[in-house]
A and B are shown apart, each in its own frame.
Chain A
């Protein structure tokens, strides 16, 4: 099994049993690694109806074939589980050094099952794997614990942790790694916290077997050269994803005050040049990245180090909360990272609460004294802490996610709970961008942008157009981008530098010795997409079209101010986009994959089990 480590580590936290087993070759063949392997394992190993926070749910930590190899951006992996936030499929990607180290230790996947009776951490040093007592670490923040474990075990160990938010089962707790990288979305950290697994520490000394080493190295070096010669390399590396802030602001896509507006009057104070000049210390790359988006920063005002803010955090902890000081956003970012909260969901939850407060639905008693108006950075810091620790009525409420919180508070606040499938929307306003809106409606984890970042396409072809071509574009992106998640590499070399997609199939062929074409890889990606859809169908009673509904704000309320002032997407337009999408996917009117579609993708037998 060239390109893969060839085995998986199974850790039963209930009884402490740790075993290894071969990575199933036929599964790799049909689903690839990382996201693909994770989806397969979730489907086959987690029983229908499992409580996401109970011992029956599992957390699959999977690397991909390109992970840890000499290929641009080969530093990604996938955490897969049944989501405590949405009740459906969760797949969260993370960069950094962990994926490479797990593979060097000799594992394609780490399968975490059961629930430990007491706090433990998983220690892996090549073949040696054991659960160690973590009582002394319980309650520690992510940075603090990572530093401590590196001091105790050695710098070479790569560490993943959950913070207090994961311990306290906040529904959108993340898993943190490499001083500022997170598997952020869907509550993967909540599941790890529920299993009482505080951290994973891994070190590996082995290599990765390659079928044709000379050919693989030749392709990889050519791909690196293409990245180095890319016109956008310098500006992209200087600003990273923050580069998009001004573009979004100008195009009415920068979420502002809980997505009421797509433009922020203080926008320029949180643009990339201000950020770079004021706080950035170092460019910080994930494994094998020629164009590091990571910007490691220091805020003098708050005396904190943080990786970021990157764009999503800038939007969700900045403009979406009306906060216009880059150092305040950095501080909120650092608090979320240290406590182990997904900045996107936390930002969405706080923005919803701020709107409730400004509209008089929440009063100062309910906020435990916080003056929760938009723009109040100090109140934001306090609320982040309360959410992570589930302190007070409001902290505990917001810890459940915005869908649950709005259902509890009612009074029309559901209308400004900005989520799809229970996952808070990431930082692109979709009042007037029908492809991007469809991308959020249909993303397989909930309202997340990374499956199909279609907003530039909207702007290039006409943002309010409702056409089959737009649905086709979303589907195309939903196959390419998640394919990278199954290969264990990053998409940004392609997205941002324009590195050719023609490198991937030949690299995979040279790496694995299996003949791949681009079409073949996309077909596998479509198979994985449909399997994740079937996970929703299986796990959520009555799952169907209404689960793909857009946040009502974008289809009922006009945007306020900026270039999209007065614009919104008529509800029937959003539904027509969904019709086009279902039809092209081969799904029925309720969004369920048709039997012939499952047959075409080779899934019929698997999903019938």
Chain B
């Protein structure tokens, strides 16, 4: 499974980020989310949503094998194993592996789908990965 986003439908409200932080950290804090909204204002006036495509590059480059797949075949980082070497962060083509100064590990989208539930304009959805 993976998360998909339609930029044209996103209104930039960030409910998805809060739902995400509640799932991942049990905290109401959008700065701890595993997807990103990039506003482009005042021109051209659009939102860009960056989500994990579950490409697996992160797991490939991780030198300590801290990145695994869950039952949905979505990648996740084991906080206990992560050494914060930043290899995955540098490698991620979407820029959706996140860090914070107060945490000693990185995190990414585990395709839980909580963001989808709170997206009013239905700009987000989760489905089986399209095989390339």
Residue numbers of A with Cβ under 8 A of B are 68-70, 72, 75, 97, 100, 104, 143, 146-147, 155, 179, 204-208, 210, 213, 217, 220-221, 224-225, 227-228, 233, 237, 281-292, 294, 296-298, 305
Contacts and interface: CB of A to CB of B under 8 A. Distances in A.
Contacts of A292: 11, 13, 120-121
B5 interface: no
21 contacts: A69-B18, A70-B18, A70-B28, A72-B15, A104-B31, A147-B41, A155-B39, A207-B27, A213-B26, A217-B22, A283-B9, A283-B121, A284-B45, A285-B12, A286-B13, A287-B13, A288-B18, A289-B11, A290-B15, A290-B118, A290-B119
A-B complex: 9 closest residue pairs judged by Cβ atoms: A290-B120, A207-B29, A285-B11, A285-B13, A292-B11, A224-B118, A207-B27, A179-B41, A283-B11
Contact of B45 (A221, A286, A290, A296): A296
Contact of A281 (B15, B22, B45): B45
Contact of B42 (A147, A210, A224, A291): A147
Contact of A221 (B39, B43, B100, B118): B118
B13 A289 contact: yes
B15 A224 contact: yes
Q: Is the interface of A mostly helix, strand, loop or mixed?
A: mixed
Given A104-B30, A237-B120, 5 more contacts: A72-B120, A179-B45, A205-B29, A285-B12, A298-B45
B42 A225 contact: no
B2 interface: no
B46 interface: yes
Nearest to A209: B28
B120 A68 contact: no
Contacts of B9: 283
B46 A282 contact: yes
A443 to B, nearest CB: 28
Contacts of A281: 44-46
B35 interface: no
Nearest to A222: B117
A228 B122 contact: yes
A227 B22 CA distance: 20
A208 B25 CA distance: 12
Contacts of B22: 70, 213, 217
B40 to A, nearest CB: 9
Contacts of A283: 9, 11, 121
B74 interface: no
A225 B117 contact: yes
A283 B47 CA distance: 10
Interface in B36-93: 38-39, 41-47
Contacts of A204: 31
A227 B11 CA distance: 15
B7 to A, nearest CB: 9
A451 to B, nearest CB: 25
B6 to A, nearest CB: 12
B121 A237 contact: yes
